[in-house]
Structure 1
Amino acid sequence: MLMKDLSVIFRFSRIYSMRRLTKYNLGHSEQEILMFLSKNDPVNQDMIAAFFVIDKGAVAKSLSKLEEKGYVNRMINPEDHREKMISLTPKGVEIMDNMQEILTDWHTAIYEGLIQEDIAHLERITSVIAANSMKAISKYEKI
């Protein structure tokens, strides 16, 4: 039951953010990359792919869309000319305020009726489950 409930929460979270960000024409993966960049700017494409456990091609596609929309820049790494570093543009930084507000509103809505202790307990348990999930799949990592 737990996995089903987590799946429902995740799907509704995606729907909520998509509806709230309609005017920006951002896909969910683009939103996630922007959120990642807001905390890890600048990074390379490999770092994004590794964090989300997705292939580099999917990341490249999302980054191209974000670049076309003016939210990110790709610059050659001065220390390694074969690598491109990705960072938020001023327009990308600006949209983060809206995205943070939406995330805060979502948390307020889903945590309604819970006390802070319940929320902290839930976050601790979820964090452990996420770490265990990562450990479980790493055993079968491609060589």
Structure 2
Amino acid sequence: MASTSSGGTVELSGFFADLVRCETRLYNALNDRLRERHGIVTSQFEALRYLRDHPGSRVADLAAEFAIGIGATSKTIDRLEKQGWAARQPNPADRRSSLLALTDNGTQLVGAAEKTFTAEVAELIGGTLDSSSATAAAQALSKLRSVLERNQIGTPTG
């Protein structure tokens, strides 16, 4: 199936394949570099960065942000806790949930890993796309993500 835009026709199955393969390759490259330099993988980095930027989050908040199940998110937090990078704290507003916080070690780790992440993304994307192409891609993906999230498309049920 093709979609027509002002720039011409886009073959959507090819677009989807390119999008998914690019995401996979970028994710894997970041995984390799973060593991090599900091002993973490991309999913751990993203969780740590989210907790740093959203103090007092719950497991459900991370699950919603990353469109993954509550169980998988809880296991991720278990692993971060085991490493001493995050901690669950009682939620005074709801005894059934915990609030999540970074430990001092988690804060130091995410700060160091963010430098590696930023440099790697700049090399992988910035070294390939010129400024106008990167801007157009960022705008298109942001719009697509916004619509998918607004319409709760691809949200896990469990």
Task: Please give the range of the TM-score, normalised by the shorter of the 2 chains.
Answer: 0.7 to 0.9
Cα offset, 1:136, TM superposition: 5.2
> In the alignment, does 2:124 pair up with 1:134?
no
Change (3 A) 1:106 1:140: closer
CA distance in 2, matches of 1:22, 1:4: 27
Higher helix share: 1
- Contact kept in structure 1, 2:63 and 2:73, CA below 8 Å: yes
Q: How does 1:1-12 map to 2 (within 5 A)?
A: 1-12=14-25
Change (3 A) 1:17 1:107: closer
Q: Secondary structure at the match of 2:96?
A: strand
Change (3 A) 1:14 1:114: closer
- TM-score, normalised to structure 1, is 0.84
- TM-score, normalised to structure 2, is 0.77
Regions of 4+ moved over 4 Å: 139-142
* Correspondence for 1:31: 45
* Correspondence for 1:115: 130
CA distance in 1, matches of 2:30, 2:128: 22
CA distance in 2, matches of 1:42, 1:12: 32
- Percent sequence identity over matched residues? 21
CA distance in 1, matches of 2:72, 2:56: 19
- How many residue pairs align between the two structures? 142
Letter in 1 for 2:135: A
Deviations 1:21-61 (A, max 9, x none): 22544344322211221221220111111112221111111
Structure 1: 5+ residue stretches without partners: none
Structure 2: 5+ residue stretches without partners: 1-13
Letter in 2 for 1:93: T
Cα offset, 1:139, TM superposition: 9.3
> In the alignment, does 2:100 pair up with 1:77?
no
Q: Secondary structure at the match of 1:73?
A: strand
> In the alignment, does 2:112 pair up with 1:101?
no
